[in-house]
Amino acid sequence: MKRFAAAAAAAGVVAGGLLMVPSATAAPAAAPEFKPASISWGPCQSDRLKKAGAECGFLDVPLDYQQPDGAKASIAVSRIKHKTPQSQGIMLVNPGGPGGSGLGLATLGASVPNKAGEAYDWIGFDPRGVGSSKPALTCDKNYFAYDRPDYLPVTPQLEKVWRDKAAGYAKACAKNGALLDHIKTTDVAKDMDSIRKSLGEQQINFYGFSYGTYLGQVYSTLYPKNVRRMVLDGNVDPRKVWYQANLDQDVAFDKNIKIYFDWLAKHDDVYHLGKTGDAVERLWYAEKKKLDAKPAGGVIGSDEWTDIFLQAGYYVFGWVDMANAFSGWVHKGDWQTLKGLYDDSNPPGDDNGYAVYSAVQCSDVQWPQNWNKWRIDNWLTHFRAPFETWGNAWYNAPCVTWPAKSGKPVEINGAKVPGALLISEELDAATPFAGSIEVRKRFPNSSLIGAPGGTTHAGSLSGVSCVDDRVAEYLSSGKLPVRKAGNGPDVECPAVPAPEPEGSPSAKADNGAKGAGKQPAELRAVLTAQAAHA
């Protein structure tokens, strides 16, 4: 899912994403303010949204906010209105990515305990370029076709294949034209403020997951007076957007996959994959090597194998499904289940999520353009953390030659934000816990819920009452956990529990009562799609 320092230059400094020039130099004229039209609400296309009583519409916004009367993008928006006599205002939701569709997340309010979500108008939206918004970004729909070249560039030829493949994807994205120059996080934050204006609201509430936490950080830095309440779950470290963040993820995912292998060993009576984590790990890498020579079903090679099991480093929710796929392949040659899991995260013929991910990350900030730096950094990281490093490197490699203007990152500052509830499990790999500590420092009116030992990313509202009840209390009254001195969590809660597979002695002992919790269906679908890669 995901490094900012203030950039100083002879002409001035970057603050809040705007170039501030010395008074001796004339500042550029400010762009005219954009005044959005009201959204014309109508029926939704999604059956789930229809069933929940949602209404949908589109909001036209400037492609370039410096030219408010110029070309437009059309943002798909959904709404489920409050059910209480008094409203607490609008609650915008973003599931992360970047590139995740948030249109269906107008339903999220129903998952907040104690009916605390019913006092809000829940606003889902597909960020510019995503899903139902227009234009929707796409570059090469078959980029994630099956049995791709081995991620590990053990020969110069293989490295060249992947460099050429990544550069080809970047070149293919150029066909999207001006949208590529106007799809930064700052553009999406401006779209959020346009939604606020369109709905006639003075302030927004915001619930952000994963990359959505960074979007919330940027919005609240640019528009602190427009923020009422904000929940940020799985916090991006604002110091490390985006190159270093990905290297940090690689190390964290390597730790989490070992935890998963230990879990498989604990349940060897069910899966028969090894009685120790080390034994399971050896088997996993041995199978990966075999798939280089002979892909499962002719489609699942070593890359696809890695991508399938990467999800185990994100969430405990799918551990049983992945264990069944691993065991089924090893003991029965079942490749169809593997393919199904791969397709869930990489829908055949659909690269919209990846296209937007690349467009945002590659243009938010200038990535290193010297390939030698990538080569050295990723080999050094690989020697520490071989599970995901090179897969993640190639996933981001289009940024080396990205055909759009790169921006300058916003210096995140939440000092003027009245409050924020931060949430993070302490072994979160996609957004390592240090990021939540940093956000807590920058938002002095925030409180942080930590979950020691937890590996689940952005797992609030999945049934852990210690977390979810505090979310409900904050949304109801604005009350946050008491902030403690120092640089740690303000309150600790249990992590989302690992599942107990059916048939295991421990599951029988408690009649299956212990489980991994359950995320809201719409959120789960979006996060699963994002978990194909770090």
Q: Inform me whether the pLDDT recorded for 525 exceeds 80.
A: no
Burial-class residue 394 by CB neighbours within 10 Å (0-12, 13-18, 19+). Answer: buried
Any catalytic annotation for residue 457? Answer: yes
pLDDT at position 10:
28
CA separation, residue 168 to residues 180, 206, 233, 399, 402 (Å)? 16, 37, 34, 11, 10
Q: Inform me whether the pLDDT recorded for 149 exceeds 70.
A: yes
Q: Inform me whether the pLDDT recorded for 2 exceeds 90.
A: no
Encoded tokens for 377: 């950094």
Any catalytic annotation for residue 331? Answer: no
pLDDT at position 518:
74
pLDDT tens, residue by residue, 446-492: 999 999 999 999 999 999 999 999 999 999 999 999 999 999 999 99
pLDDT at position 278:
98
Q: Which of 121, 187, 428, 490 is catalytic?
A: 428
Three-state secondary structure call for residue 425: strand
Tell which phi-psi region holds residue 519, choosing left (phi > 0), alpha (psi between -120 and 50) or beta.
Answer: beta
pLDDT tens, residue by residue, 221-246: 999 999 999 999 999 999 999 999 99
Three-state secondary structure call for residue 186: helix
pLDDT at position 11:
30
Tell which phi-psi region holds residue 485, choosing left (phi > 0), alpha (psi between -120 and 50) or beta.
Answer: beta
Q: What whole-number distance in Å separates Cα of residue 398 and Cα of residue 403?
A: 9
| Nearest C-alpha neighbor of 234 from the set 460, 493, 515, 502 | 460
pLDDT tens, residue by residue, 50-66: 999 999 999 999 999 99
pLDDT at position 523:
72
| Nearest C-alpha neighbor of 308 from the set 263, 344, 261 | 344
pLDDT band (50, 70, 90) for residue 121: very high
Token pair 């009254």: residue: 477
pLDDT tens, residue by residue, 302-321: 999 999 999 999 999 999 99
pLDDT at position 31:
72
pLDDT at position 9:
29
pLDDT tens, residue by residue, 338-365: 999 999 999 999 999 999 999 999 999 9
Any catalytic annotation for residue 533? Answer: no
| Nearest C-alpha neighbor of 386 from the set 516, 270, 272, 288 | 288
- What's CA 293's distance to the chain center, in Å? 33
Per-chain mean pLDDT for the chain? 91
Encoded tokens for 463: 């049934």
pLDDT band (50, 70, 90) for residue 529: low
User: Can you give the pTM of this predicted structure?
Assistant: 0.92
Q: Averaged over 414-424, what is the pLDDT? A: 98
Burial-class residue 511 by CB neighbours within 10 Å (0-12, 13-18, 19+). Answer: exposed
Q: Which of 82, 182, 267, 457 is catalytic?
A: 457
- List of E strands, 270-410: none
pLDDT at position 519:
73
Q: Which of 133, 198, 210, 345 is catalytic?
A: 210
